[in-house]
């Protein structure tokens, strides 16, 4: 009899049901997740954060970067100063497996021949190159040649290419070409790739300005790369009828500077001659258009060759704007202007020269024994520190500080160069205030001084130094032009004329002038020399020794109506085999002669010089005859018959043919100034005390006070000027 079949245990059946349910749930969950995943991918178009459409587009799209060109920098005459170029790094493939499709070798085969040829172009011997071409590692694919194989120019690359050396290749990278070498190098600056290692990975890296104009205007000079996209198949071949998408590159703006290439090259040669012969620790020179503030030439030593970068490690600073120093006696041009303008200058009053004590400190003249009791009219030509101290005391500290602020001392000029410092001055004690008047205890930059000097040369009108003339967008043609910028009127036109006349004495008065070494035959010059002590970097006063000074000179020409200002400073010549004046004049005289020879002065006057006769206290008839004999044009101001005052002053050297203004006794009468230069009218203002307002530039064509009208020191006259 068959045993009866037993039914499953209820507990076992329940477990099986649970397992089944769980298994079904897992299956449903799995398929649910799969469906959700597909749904998510379909809706979002992403997987693991990767945009599938973008990835597909990139997979089947070939994109090429269209490189933008960095803007070109030009000199004022159109010469290229800096432009884009390419340099190349040479490398050699040594892996014997590197062959073409038809099995032609693409690696270096004849190492001896290759080494011999490359040694003619690289700064390596054939033996050194052959060693490089034979690396110890058998797995090496390619080798490079260190610094000798970098920064190869296009001409050298082409020469090597002509040799048809198998396995020799070049990698291009953007570079900046400076065709003039040493040429206002710290002002122009340099543009470099940020990181050579990054550049090796990214061939589209752009140049960045790291100094000078290149740095200050980096945003304007740097272009924006474009791109071009084409559709390809899986093998990278362009699809027929595919759309090419192009976004053009935007080249950087081009810039034109105020620098004149001829004058700059001349200055560089003159500066280098002094550097080589006398070995100064520092040497600066700036030539500026007095009317517009345009920097025509500027340089410094130490410097570097921007084409090769040789010398760059000596000094990175643009010392014309980044170094503040005590200017010394050239500062007397500013302090004398303040004294005259504030009404505290009496040229005939006298003082005891030699030494003066303030706050327990003694200020001495450079001639320790002094010159006895002398008039204040000799402060400038003799460069008397003591006289300047007395004049500062006559002004008072508050007045002197007001003029320091008017001349923007302790303030940046705002010139478009990076790293400009503001300088500073000490003014807490009486001795500090006096020291600033003769250029000690005050720190300035060369550009600050140029700005201040412009007020003297420009009839009281102070203009900002400028290095950029215009910026032009090569795509739109939009041009930004930098116009002359008047930044203040610290003194009157009459004061400026007075100071210029005193500066004439510095260079022309052979008995007392400290600047006779700067005389130029036939040129009307205004000059001031300076010798500044250098603070001891270790503290405790100033350095001692014959060469431990900053020697300087500022000149303005023609002094009758200055068009140019030239300022030179030289710090601590290590081989001082000649007087400082002789050294500086070897730069000053040829450069000033050259710029004047361009014939760009507004007056167009002859450069022949004559001596102004002394006609004061002479009859008007005698005065007119004497001036005619001297080749000068007399202008009588007054109804009298005797000359009581004259400009220019007696015995000064002046340009032949210029006007000499003679004030007579009796009522002062307004002359007709039609055809007069601005400088001639300023002489009239100085000798009569009238106030003159100018409109326009050039020569007088109209005046508000009619000729022969009576004028007084309170009279105001407006004069309209127009170019001839």
What total of structural domains would you count in the chain? Answer: 4
**β partners of residue 655:** 609
pLDDT in tens, 208-238: 999 999 999 999 999 888 877 777 665 555 5
Tell whether 366 and 448 lie within a shared domain: yes
Determine the Cα–Cα distance for residues 713 and 691; give it in Å rounded to an integer.
8
604 is a domain residue: no
Determine the Cα–Cα distance for residues 658 and 646; give it in Å rounded to an integer.
13
Classify 599 as helix, strand or coil.
coil
Tell whether 31 and 167 lie within a shared domain: no
Domain boundary among 567, 596, 625: 596
Asked if pLDDT for residue 318 goes beyond 80, the answer is: yes
* Confidence grade of residue 603 (pLDDT, cut at 50, 70, 90): very low
Tell whether 105 and 149 lie within a shared domain: yes
- The CATH number given to whatever domain includes residue 631 is 3.30.10.20
Predicted TM-score (pTM) of the model is 0.74
Asked if pLDDT for residue 706 goes beyond 90, the answer is: no
Tell whether 202 and 305 lie within a shared domain: no
pLDDT in tens, 455-500: 999 999 999 999 999 999 998 999 999 999 999 999 999 999 999 9
- The CATH number given to whatever domain includes residue 404 is 3.40.710.10
Domain boundary among 241, 256, 271: 256
Determine the Cα–Cα distance for residues 458 and 228; give it in Å rounded to an integer.
55
Q: Which of 323-337, 421-435, 593-607 has the lowest mean pLDDT?
A: 593-607
Q: What pLDDT, on a 0 to 100 scale, did the predictor assign at position 604?
A: 35
Tell whether 251 and 270 lie within a shared domain: no
Q: What pLDDT, on a 0 to 100 scale, did the predictor assign at position 200?
A: 46
247 is a domain residue: yes
Tell whether 388 and 470 lie within a shared domain: yes
Q: Are 697 and 721 in contact (CB under 8 A)?
A: yes
404 is a domain residue: yes
397 is a domain residue: yes
Tell whether 50 and 165 lie within a shared domain: no
Determine the structural domain holding residue 108 and report its residue range: 64-256
Phi, psi of 353 (to 5 degrees): -80, 175
- The CATH number given to whatever domain includes residue 81 is 3.30.70.2110
426 is a domain residue: yes
Tell whether 579 and 633 lie within a shared domain: no
Determine the Cα–Cα distance for residues 689 and 711; give it in Å rounded to an integer.
9
How many CB atoms are located within 10 Å of the residue 611 CB?
14
How many CB atoms are located within 10 Å of the residue 479 CB?
12
Asked if pLDDT for residue 675 goes beyond 50, the answer is: yes
Determine the Cα–Cα distance for residues 308 and 290; give it in Å rounded to an integer.
34
Tell whether 687 and 582 lie within a shared domain: no
- 35: its two tokens: 């469906």
Determine the Cα–Cα distance for residues 164 and 672; give it in Å rounded to an integer.
81
pLDDT in tens, 384-435: 999 999 999 999 999 999 999 999 999 999 999 999 999 999 899 999 999 9
Asked if pLDDT for residue 724 goes beyond 70, the answer is: no
Determine the Cα–Cα distance for residues 215 and 488; give it in Å rounded to an integer.
28
Asked if pLDDT for residue 704 goes beyond 80, the answer is: yes
Domain boundary among 220, 236, 256: 256
Tell whether 422 and 541 lie within a shared domain: yes
154 is a domain residue: yes
602 is a domain residue: no
> What residue ranges in 214-279 does DSSP mark as E strands?
226-231, 245-247, 254-257
Tell whether 544 and 667 lie within a shared domain: no
603 is a domain residue: no
Give catalytic residues, as residue numbers.
329
Tell whether 292 and 368 lie within a shared domain: yes
pLDDT in tens, 557-576: 999 999 999 999 999 999 99
The mean pLDDT of the chain is 87
Peptide bond into 111 cis (omega under 30): no
């Amino acid at each position: 009899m068959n045993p009866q079949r037993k039914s499953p245990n209820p507990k076992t059946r329940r477990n099986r049901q649970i397992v089944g349910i769980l298994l079904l749930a897992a299956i449903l969950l799995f398929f649910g997740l799969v469906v959700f995943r597909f749904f998510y991918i379909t809706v979002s178009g992403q997987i693991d954060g990767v945009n599938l459409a973008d990835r597909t587009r990139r997979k089947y799209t070939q994109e090429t970067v269209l490189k933008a060109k960095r803007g070109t920098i030009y000199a004022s005459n159109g010469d290229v100063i800096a432009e884009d170029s390419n340099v190349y790094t040479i490398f050699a493939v040594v892996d014997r497996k590197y062959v073409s499709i038809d099995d032609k070798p693409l690696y270096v085969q004849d190492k001896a021949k290759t080494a011999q040829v490359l040694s003619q172009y690289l700064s390596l011997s054939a033996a050194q190159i052959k060693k490089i071409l034979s690396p110890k590692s058998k797995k090496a694919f390619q080798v490079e040649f260190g610094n000798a194989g970098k920064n190869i120019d296009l001409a050298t690359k082409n020469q090597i290419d002509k040799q048809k050396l198998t396995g020799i290749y070049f990698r291009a990278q953007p570079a900046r070409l400076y065709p003039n070498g040493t040429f206002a190098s710290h002002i122009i600056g340099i543009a470099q790739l940020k990181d050579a290692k990054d550049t090796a990975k990214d061939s589209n890296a752009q140049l960045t300005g790291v100094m000078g104009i290149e740095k200050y205007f980096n945003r304007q000079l740097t272009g924006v790369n474009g791109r071009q996209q084409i559709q390809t198949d899986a093998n990278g071949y362009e699809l027929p009828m595919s759309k090419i998408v192009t976004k053009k590159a935007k080249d950087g703006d081009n810039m034109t500077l105020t620098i004149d290439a001829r004058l700059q090259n001349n200055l560089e040669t003159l500066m280098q001659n002094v550097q080589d012969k006398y070995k100064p620790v520092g040497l600066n020179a700036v030539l500026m258009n007095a009317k517009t503030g345009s920097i025509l030439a500027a340089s410094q030593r130490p410097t570097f060759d921007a084409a090769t970068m040789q010398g760059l490690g000596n000094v990175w600073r643009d010392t014309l704007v980044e170094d503040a120093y005590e200017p010394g006696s050239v500062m007397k041009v500013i302090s004398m202007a303040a004294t005259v303008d504030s009404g505290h200058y009496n040229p005939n009053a006298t003082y005891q020269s030699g030494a003066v004590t303030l706050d327990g400190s003694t200020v001495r003249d450079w001639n320790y024994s002094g010159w006895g009791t002398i008039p204040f009219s000799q402060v400038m030509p003799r460069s008397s520190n003591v006289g300047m101290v007395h004049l500062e005391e006559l002004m008072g500290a508050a007045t002197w500080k007001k003029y320091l602020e008017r001349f923007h001392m302790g303030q940046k000029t705002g010139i478009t160069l990076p790293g400009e410092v503001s300088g500073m001055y000490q003014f807490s004690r009486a001795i500090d205030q006096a020291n600033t008047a003769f250029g000690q205890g005050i720190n300035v930059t060369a550009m600050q001084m140029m700005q201040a000097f412009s007020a003297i040369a420009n009839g009281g009108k102070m203009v900002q130094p400028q290095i950029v003339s215009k910026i032009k967008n090569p795509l739109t043609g939009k041009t930004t032009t930098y116009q002359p910028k008047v930044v203040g009127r610290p003194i009157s036109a009459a004061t400026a004329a007075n100071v210029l006349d005193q500066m004439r004495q510095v260079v022309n008065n052979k008995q007392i002038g400290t600047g006779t070494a700067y005389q130029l035959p036939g040129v009307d010059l205004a000059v001031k020399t300076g010798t500044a002590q250098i603070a001891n970097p270790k503290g405790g006063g100033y350095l001692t020794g014959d060469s431990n000074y900053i020697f300087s000179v500022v000149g303005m020409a023609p002094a009758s109506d200055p068009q140019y200002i030239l300022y030179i400073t030289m710090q601590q010549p290590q081989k001082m085999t000649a007087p400082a004046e002789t050294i500086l004049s070897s730069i000053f005289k040829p450069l000033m002669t050259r710029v004047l020879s361009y014939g760009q002065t507004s007056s167009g006057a002859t450069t022949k010089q004559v001596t102004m006769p002394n006609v004061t206290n002479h009859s008007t008839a005698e005065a007119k005859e004497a001036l005619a004999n001297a080749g000068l044009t007399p202008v009588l101001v007054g109804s009298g018959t005797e000359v009581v005052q004259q400009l220019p002053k007696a015995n000064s050297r002046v340009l032949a043919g210029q006007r000499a203004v003679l004030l007579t006794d009796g009522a002062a009468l307004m002359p007709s100034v039609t055809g007069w230069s601005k400088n001639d009218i300023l002489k009239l203002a100085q000798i009569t005390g009238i106030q003159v307002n100018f409109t326009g530039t050039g020569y007088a064509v109209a005046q508000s006070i009619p000729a022969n009208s009576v004028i007084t020191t309170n009279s105001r006259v407006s004069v309209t000027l127009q170019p001839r």
